[in-house]
Structure 1
Amino acid sequence: MSADSEQNTAAAEQNPDTAIIAALKRQLLRTEAAERRRLLRVLITGSAIRLIILVAFPGLVSHYLSSRVELSTPVTSYKRLVEGVHLSIHNTSPYDGGLFHQSPLLLILFRLLHVLPDLFTNIVYVAVDAMIALTLAKLAAAKADKSKSNRVPGEIRFVCTPSAVATMYLFNPLTVATTLAKSTIVFSHLAIVSALYAGISGLTNQAIMFTAVAAHLSLYPAVLIAPIALMAAVSRKQAQQRWLVGDIALTLAKFAFATGALHLLFAAVFGTQYFMATVDFTLRAADLQPNVGLFWYFFIEIFDEFRPFFFVVFQLTALAFAVPVSWRFRDDPLFAGTMLVGIISALKSYPSWGDLSLFLGLLPLFEELAKYLQYSFLSANLLMYGVGLAPVFWHLWIELGTGNANFFYAATLVYVFGQITLLFDLGGAKLRRELDIHYPETRTRTVIQE
């Protein structure tokens, strides 16, 4: 035995606490290494499955999944994106007609991919999905570190590991189907989760840029600037013990500048008609193609003179929750952001199953709320019935001609009601847990709100 080993052994014998701490550190390092290996295996397996299906079954992807109205909408359709790229390459503005309604960011990206074989496009979609899963895993680790002291007295928690969070996102059938359909909503999802991770990590400027990009890609993620601003304020509040309204205002001003700069850049390159073909098109829900949302059937049936009023009502319903939800859950802006993602998924003008997949991917971050949920069985069944019945009723309506639009819209209503039920249940669970934290004596009591 060397002299150094003998000295370390003697020191450990003299101070057993030091030996215990060293052993715990070694065990922690081994656990972290094992978790990283599990996360890597999950990412590789999920990516390989997607790439194999995209390469081995190109017909399934190009002729079936990419045409499903549950997966592809006028503002996320890969086929429309390809048409827009084709027009752009031939020096024709894709925004002049009524076909292309997606962000210039996607147009620029896919113009670069157009000259490469299709395999590279497949790799990009698979890589984006893997990056979303990795960012969700990082979010889980960051949230676990920040919530160690925010517990109910005597609570024993099972923390959802980063690899488990990535697994539940990557192997969600809705996520897989969205990627295989090559819906461009995945790029918006990457910007959203990147903004939330940057915000919770204290990287406010990066969070603002990602939110601005997400807003240009899909419009509705602009509401996430409210929880992003609160994240910036929370970090300063912890240092100064007070809310800094100036910090919130500064964050909002930076976001306005970033979105305005992107708008001016795109207007200079593509002309102002891009704004009418993207933002205005989404707000007016100008294309009433059936989807899994609430807009299309309602505005097909309503009289023309009432349409402007109800467009304002429907859009305000989707956008007006940003401030009240963010302020009510101001002590946990990440939860507020998750709630807003769910609200967007249910109430936007052109939703798809991909929107629900992101919301479900964020839910494992809040595993501590699982025991407080009261209607999880109901909401899960509503969502499964909505997802399962939509293709069946579409087949009856469009392909067999034995049904009508009411069939498909009924499945849509069940689907949206399932999301709203889950949102109410999740919000109630969060409020009840906050009550248990601040007033532990109420844990065994039933709370009745009059």
Structure 2
Amino acid sequence: MEAGALAAGAALRAALALHPTWPRSLAARNELATPLSALQRLQEGHHLATHLPTPLNPYEAGAVHHPPLALALLGPLTDPHSSQPALSWAAWIAADVLTAWALARVADRRKRRPLVVDDGEKQWTGAWVAALYLFHPFAIATTLARSTTSFSNLFLALAISSAVEGSLITAAFHLSLATHLSLYPVLLLPPLILVAHLATNSPESAERAPRSRVSCAVEGVLAFVGHQAVLLALSRWLTGSWAFLSSVYGVILTIPDLTPNIGLAWYFFIEMFDHFRAFFLVVFALHPLAYVAPLTIHYRKDPLFAAVLLIGAISLLKSYPSLGDWSLWHALLGCYSELLPHVTSPLFHSLLPLYALLLLPSFSHLWLGSNSGNANFFYASTLVWAVAMGGWAVEAGKAWGRREATRGLDDEGRAKVRAGEWKVVQR
């Protein structure tokens, strides 16, 4: 069944890629393409570096924000003058298929606690989780737009899959690749180290001698730093200088490109007075970081769930988010399908994102298409989207807590909770 889902997802993408206008129009959508992931920026950088009589540094103009390795490896595949465009589509489709495969391994190999059948808990198989990602509209649209978010999702999924299997060094390497593309994945290093530590010390592990958290942390950090140093050295060799650092990673922290997207930062800094800008840049940069320690410590018995919540927080708070970031998060939530019976007001939490999805293209068209609106229209729709997705992240954490509290009760206590006589209160 899993192989069938992977084949069907790949075939669907290949068929949609043949449409004469959809890929081009989706590549220009600000909900899918950001300055850090857009196909047009990737093509521009590759053109400046290779197709001019005198090659130019693609980072001097300040419009290209892809890392040098992405320009070198993915740039040739996106050349509009290439005689083999099928190779480009094959690369993006393969990335999505591998992402779905890695997510299926996470769902199948994650150590799960016993289900409470009376509460209606069910666990989705790896095939269902793979299908959730492959047939997710956001993932399909991201592939058709050929956004590099597809590769960020791939390396994140591979890092989580390796950590669940106890392969700490492999997880660190994959996380380093994801960080090299978008910086924020470095925040996932602490929970993934804990995930790998628990997998290594589990009864099913082939290792005989248990390992301490300190030794796993040292090994994981050294592997990550060493691999990142190699990637940066290769980038320095390709470009001949370290100037790419400010264009690739500095832009994530300083947010100089205020191209509209579904995030919270672009409009905020358009309206910001210059003498307040530095302070709020620090606030925006530290905001995702502030969740790492609390989530990792609180969910130390289930650090994989901490990583899932962190991915949701990053997707919400990063400076240049896209809908493609949320496709991975939704699929990871599918690995915790046993939490669904513990979600309160599921209809509300489902309808609010749909309402936001209707507002985003509508208000974008009113502002940028028909000129009958202004930036407030589109930003209002991004705020609705942020409330909807933030609400889902909060509700997922509450559902995890309700389930843990309910599982600690006996049969009589759980029956009273189901009957409404007892209520689970979280502090």
Q: Same fold (TM over 0.5)?
A: yes
Mapped pair 1:298 → 2:268: yes
Cα 1:116–1:229 shift into 2, 3 Å: farther
Question: What one-letter code is carried by the residue in structure 2 that aligns with 1:446?
Answer: K
Please point out which of 113, 123, 127 is paired with 2:90.
Answer: 123
Once the two structures are TM-superposed, the CA of residue 117 in structure 1 deviates from its matched residue by 1.2
Question: What one-letter code is carried by the residue in structure 2 that aligns with 1:279?
Answer: Y
> How far apart in 1 are the matches of 2:366 and 2:121?
47
Which residue of 1 is the match for residue 104 of structure 2? Answer: 137
> How far apart in 2 are the matches of 1:116 and 1:329?
51
Which residue of 2 is the match for residue 257 of structure 1? Answer: 226
Question: What one-letter code is carried by the residue in structure 1 that aligns with 2:237?
Answer: A
Question: What one-letter code is carried by the residue in structure 2 that aligns with 1:250?
Answer: E
| Cα pair 2:32 2:322 within 8 Å, conserved | yes
Once the two structures are TM-superposed, the CA of residue 238 in structure 1 deviates from its matched residue by 3.9
Q: Structure 1 length as normaliser, TM-score?
A: 0.86
Once the two structures are TM-superposed, the CA of residue 341 in structure 1 deviates from its matched residue by 1.0
Cα 1:330–1:442 shift into 2, 3 Å: farther
Mapped pair 1:400 → 2:370: yes
Q: Percent identity?
A: 37
RMSD: 1.9
Mapped pair 1:446 → 2:423: yes
> How far apart in 2 are the matches of 1:369 and 1:97?
48
| Cα pair 1:376 1:422 within 8 Å, conserved | no
Mapped pair 1:380 → 2:350: yes
Cα 1:377–1:105 shift into 2, 3 Å: farther
Cα 1:242–1:324 shift into 2, 3 Å: farther
| Cα pair 2:119 2:341 within 8 Å, conserved | no
Which residue of 2 is the match for residue 222 of structure 1? Answer: 186
> How far apart in 1 are the matches of 2:92 and 2:201?
39
Once the two structures are TM-superposed, the CA of residue 335 in structure 1 deviates from its matched residue by 1.3
Once the two structures are TM-superposed, the CA of residue 388 in structure 1 deviates from its matched residue by 1.3
Which residue of 2 is the match for residue 35 of structure 1? Answer: none
> How far apart in 2 are the matches of 1:269 and 1:322?
33
| Cα pair 2:405 2:424 within 8 Å, conserved | no
Mapped pair 1:76 → 2:37: yes
Higher-Rg structure is: 1
Cα 1:279–1:181 shift into 2, 3 Å: same
Question: What one-letter code is carried by the residue in structure 1 that aligns with 2:177?
Answer: V
> How far apart in 1 are the matches of 2:221 and 2:45?
33
Which residue of 2 is the match for residue 59 of structure 1? Answer: 21
Which residue of 2 is the match for residue 309 of structure 1? Answer: 279
* Matching of residues 139-288 of structure 1 within 5 Å: 139-143=106-110, 146-147=111-112, 149-152=113-116, 157-238=121-202, 244-270=213-239, 271-288=241-258
Once the two structures are TM-superposed, the CA of residue 116 in structure 1 deviates from its matched residue by 5.4
> How far apart in 1 are the matches of 2:285 and 2:160?
23
Once the two structures are TM-superposed, the CA of residue 89 in structure 1 deviates from its matched residue by 1.1
Once the two structures are TM-superposed, the CA of residue 437 in structure 1 deviates from its matched residue by 2.8
Q: CA-to-partner distance for each residue in 1:297-333, whole Å, 9 max, x for gaps? A: 1110010010111011112112221222122111222
> How far apart in 1 are the matches of 2:199 and 2:131?
30
Once the two structures are TM-superposed, the CA of residue 151 in structure 1 deviates from its matched residue by 4.2
* Matching of residues 26-65 of structure 1 within 5 Å: 38-55=1-18, 57-62=19-24, 64-65=25-26
Q: CA-to-partner distance for each residue in 1:25-53, whole Å, 9 max, x for gaps? A: xxxxxxxxxxxxx2222222221121122
* Matching of residues 14-33 of structure 1 within 5 Å: none
3-state SS of 1:391 partner = helix
Aligned length: 408
Question: What one-letter code is carried by the residue in structure 2 that aligns with 1:340?
Answer: L
Q: CA-to-partner distance for each residue in 1:111-137, whole Å, 9 max, x for gaps? A: 443455111101111111111111111
Mapped pair 1:110 → 2:74: yes
Higher helix share: 1
3-state SS of 1:72 partner = coil
| Cα pair 2:349 2:392 within 8 Å, conserved | yes
Question: What one-letter code is carried by the residue in structure 1 that aligns with 2:294?
Answer: P
Which residue of 2 is the match for residue 24 of structure 1? Answer: none
| Cα pair 2:39 2:146 within 8 Å, conserved | yes
| Cα pair 2:309 2:393 within 8 Å, conserved | yes
Q: For structure 1, which runs of at least 5 residues remain unmatched after alignment?
A: 1-37
Deviates more, 1:238-247 or 1:438-447: 238-247
> How far apart in 2 are the matches of 1:244 and 1:166?
31
| Cα pair 2:31 2:322 within 8 Å, conserved | yes
Q: CA-to-partner distance for each residue in 1:353-378, whole Å, 9 max, x for gaps? A: 11111111111110110011114322
Once the two structures are TM-superposed, the CA of residue 152 in structure 1 deviates from its matched residue by 4.6
> How far apart in 1 are the matches of 2:26 and 2:64?
19
Which residue of 1 is the match for residue 295 of structure 2? Answer: 325
> How far apart in 2 are the matches of 1:299 and 1:116?
42
Which residue of 1 is the match for residue 328 of structure 2? Answer: 358
| Cα pair 1:95 1:277 within 8 Å, conserved | yes
Superposed structure 1 runs of 4+ greater than 3 Å apart:
149-157, 235-243, 438-443
Q: CA-to-partner distance for each residue in 1:369-426, whole Å, 9 max, x for gaps? A: 0011114322222211111111000111111111111111111001011111001100
